[in-house]
Chain A
Amino acid sequence: MIVRILGEGQYDVVDSDMGALEELDAKLAAAIEASDEDAFTGVLTTLAEKVRSTGTAVDASTIVSSDLTVPHEGASLEEVRHLLASEDAADD
């Protein structure tokens, strides 16, 4: 799976490592749902670190679309919520 960390770059993560990422992803969604800024910041940092440590950075000469995208590290909950809200608008 190709995972992009916004503002940073792409990583190739093998399927066997995806379980841990999906778990963190679910926690991130829960933190957004609960408007829990502290939890959100913590999970986002862990998630980005996990992608970096388990994945292999995609070489800059490789042009490929991403399957999954992690928000900018240090992004606020509000910022990510705003990004996700543009999902519907972008579908038009």
Chain B
Amino acid sequence: MGVMKRLSGVLQAKANKVMDRVEDPRETLDLSYEKQLEQLQQVRKGVADVATARKRIELQAQQLQQTASKLQEQARQALAQNCEDLAREALSRRAALSTQLEGLKTQHDQLVQQEQRLVATTQSLQARVEAFRTQKETLKASYTAAQAQTRIGEAVSGISESMTDTGMAMQRAQDKIAQMQARAGAVDELLASGTLTDLSGSSDPLQAELDRTSAQSQIELELAQMKGALAPPAPTGALGAGSAPAAHTADGDDHDVAEAETVDTPSDPAPAPPPIPAAGGAHPAGDELFSLGSEGGQS
């Protein structure tokens, strides 16, 4: 016997188990209908669970990306201050995040697919339950007819099969969520353990040094800009009070200013964090949510 035939046997056997066999066929119809409504409710909850799991992954991806951006910025700062070891450390931590993000993306894709299927089967189950409700009343009205019994049997086993299938799909989705939660927990731990935030913590002397020199550079830069703004306009009139003349008017420590620019400018065009997807909305999280590539352009 082929796989398809055997599988139908399995499905029908499962469906038979959920059917209530009672003496009065009219009662069978009512009981089955009650069960259908109950399952529809469960399936709707299942769909919501999948959506919640998907949003959690999206949120985590977002957090990982923010952390990665921070590490990249720290690497840049460290390099600007000739702390190559520190820069290397920050970049290697960032690389580890990238691996995590890839794993999240795989899970996200699978979950999105399951969610879409589950939504579709729920809609079709709902339509069938509605059709059953109508047929049920017709069958009850004519249940004395000889063929009514058979038709009741067909209707009930047909809908039971659909319910069983939807139930199995829901179970698969729940299994997927369970698998996902293990990884999500690991990522949460990673984010919470401080492994990734050491560099920005005040307990880190290197970061404190980075912060101090960077703040100094910022002050120097602002001073230079103010001086530039106060100075009379350049004869050509083309440049105005932009940062280029400001750098030149800074008396004394030209080095600091140049360095300050190197450190400061990348933070300006920092990419906005990806939006949190709307509840129950589509799945906007494309590849960009799971990729660290975008901020590479800043360097």
CB within 8 Å of B: which of A25-52? 25-26, 28-29, 32
Q: How large is the interface on A (under 10, 10 to 19, 20 to 34, 35 or more residues)?
A: 20 to 34
In the complex, chain B residues whose CB is within 8 Å of the CB of A6: 7, 11, 165, 168-169
- Please, how many angstroms separate the alpha-carbon atoms of A23 and B19 in the complex? 34
- Does A17 sit at the interface, judged by CB under 8 A? no
In the complex, chain A residues whose CB is within 8 Å of the CB of B168: 6-7, 72
- Does B26 sit at the interface, judged by CB under 8 A? no
In the complex, chain A residues whose CB is within 8 Å of the CB of B161: 4, 65-66
Residue of B nearest to A28 (CB): B3
In the complex, chain B residues whose CB is within 8 Å of the CB of A4: 8, 11, 161, 165
Contact yes or no, B172 A61, CB < 8 A = no
- Does B117 sit at the interface, judged by CB under 8 A? yes
- When A and B form their complex, what is the total count of cross-chain residue pairs whose Cβ atoms lie within 8 Å? 104
- Does A14 sit at the interface, judged by CB under 8 A? no
- Known contacts: A7-B121, A7-B168, A70-B4. The answer to whether A63 contacts B128 by CB under 8 A is yes
Q: Is the interface of A mostly helix, strand, loop or mixed?
A: mixed
Residue tally, chain B, CB below 8 Å to A? 38
- Known contacts: A4-B161, A6-B165, A61-B127. The answer to whether A72 contacts B6 by CB under 8 A is no
Contact yes or no, A26 B128, CB < 8 A = no
In the complex, chain B residues whose CB is within 8 Å of the CB of A61: 127-128, 130-131
Contact yes or no, A65 B154, CB < 8 A = yes
In the complex, chain A residues whose CB is within 8 Å of the CB of B3: 25, 28-29, 32, 71, 80, 84
- Please, how many angstroms separate the alpha-carbon atoms of A61 and B121 in the complex? 13
CB within 8 Å of A: which of B91-146? 113, 117-118, 120-121, 123-124, 127-128, 130-132, 135
Residue of B nearest to A91 (CB): B13
8 contacts between A and B (CB under 8 A): A4-B8, A7-B118, A65-B154, A67-B8, A69-B8, A83-B7, A84-B7, A90-B13
